Structure 1
Amino acid sequence: MSNKKLSLTSILSLTFFLSVQLFAQNTNPDTQSALRLEQGFIDLETPQFHLKLVKASQTVAALQPKGEKGFDFTPSEELENRAENEFYHLGDLTLRLRNENSLDWQEFSTATFRRQVNTLEVSGNILAAADITPTLGWRVPVQVHRYWELENGQLVLRYTIKNTTDERVEIGALGIPMVFNNILTGKDLDTAHAICSFYDPYIGQDAGYLQVTRLNGHGPALIVVPDANTPFEAYKPLNEDKTQRGITFEGFYEWMVHTKAFTEREWSEAEPWNPASSEILEPGESRDFSVRFLLSESIRDIEPTLIKNEKPVAVGFPGYVLPQDEIGSL
């Protein structure tokens, strides 16, 4: 009888031990990150960049200019610390949508509650592609495919949004998070100068661009420019991102293509830099939105690089500073 009791006790103890071990494995942060980093990465090459994507999300893990060993425009050294929900990465997307019979906007984000995206087959100039609809949530009335591709040797990030309902869908806000490494927190001066960047927008609609310059002033500089149907309408603080802000980190921002939904709510009493816009998708209709990544050899070469890529540039001549005895107008 005692042997049977001992045997039963041993079995129960072993079962409890295995259950605890299994629970510990399932709650291990290394295996439970929302980005699913444990599934690995996709390494891609373009003429100008080493591009590294998180395999499960196809968001950017690293964007390194060639010839600059060890430098990355994105905060790759913080990737493991920023692998949970509500941490945004280059390649994410935010939307506010409503159907034609509704006055209320619905919010969607690829980072709020991450789900693994569905990999799509690639061909031609497409480097990587995914159906990112699952990570936008089950209520989303559109299908979104995201493509990393090469066009004329340049890296392009493109989203194709398709209305999958039998009603018209209005896109009242569309934001592309611009996540680059401006996180100075915890770094000494030499380290920050070596790996961090500042970025500045020109919110100029189709002529707009975002320049990302290294803190040490060296080249190359990154320039993000609008591509298909993607005007730079507004530059919105990405307050939804959970990265801790402070004197050494002001936060990330997103490139806003449409802002009507914000001017009807949060920005209703503000005067926008550009008129707010929205876009209607008919049932079954698709629309592309894309930005292009350019490299300038130096900060001084940013404007010539824009001109070379057929982007308008305004230059003051002889300059924007006038002597006190002259009258000027702009």
Structure 2
Amino acid sequence: MIRKLMPSIVLLLILAAAAGYAYSQNFFQKEDTPAADPRLLTMNVSDIDRIDIQPVSAGNAAAATNTSASSADPSSVQLYKKGQTWSMTAPAAYPVNPYTIQDWLKALQSATIHGTVEEQPADTSKYGIHGNTPVFAVQGSGGDKLTLAIGSELPTKGYYYAQLNGSSVIQLSQQTVTDLQADAFQFIDTTPIGWDDNQLTQLKWNSTQPEASWTLDHTPNIADPAQDTWTLNGKSIAGDQGTGITDAVKNMPTDQLPVPAAQVKSYDKVLTLRVSLTTDGKATTQHYEGWQNPKNKGYIWLTDPQNQWAYRVSMDNLTTAAQSAKRDAAKSNTSS
């Protein structure tokens, strides 16, 4: 009987030995998951109420990663949040685009530290970090702060040295540096004309450059926007024609920082635009004006309804907006 069982006993002993060896070599144990890189930001992003971005310094290639010749500004950028509203205080009180500020904060929130290079460096110049001026900094409502001075690129491409809070030198990805470095132009509202079409009742355009005069009337149907009524110079047009005109007018972006409106009032006035709106049952009217420098007819300067800022807009975009209505007016005359 024992002789018959011997092969089975030997097999069991072999299996037991193999299992013991495999266990000793961690064959049956889960591999440890590598620890995730720590987050750069330790405070709650919703608590941040101040952003400071210092000017791009000469020779700092990392800081210059996300700037362009058309928008680069040497001045420091300061943004403050009061309640839920962001505003710019430096280099000037330019109107801001809150969505680009939120995008910047999301990039900061997702940024990670890819390793610590040196805890308390006596000399940061070897990392391309000169002085204590941060490239960007944020501050929370509770007083928490984060400051970063961006240095040079690591020998392993794709990462940069950065000094965190004036202390440790860490590694940041090039993508993080690119996402966070910004100038004033990237935070401003680059479309000076805007409204909600659901509130628009009339758009009256009169320009001499190019020569165009038309009136777009709109009766919104809040329950069913597809039933909105549009007329151009008193003649009915299709809804997509009406929104096409408003889109062309609203989509005239500026390509540089605005200037005080008073600076352009000596130019030739070439455009008056009146926008009539009804908001919560209250009628309001916004007036925009376009001014052209006789020495540079490739652009006009649009002044806002408050007569505070003037935005440079290309003549090509202005012509597109003016002719969008003239084209639809011609279609309307043909169909009638």
Smaller-chain TM-score bracket: under 0.3
TM-score (norm 2): 0.24
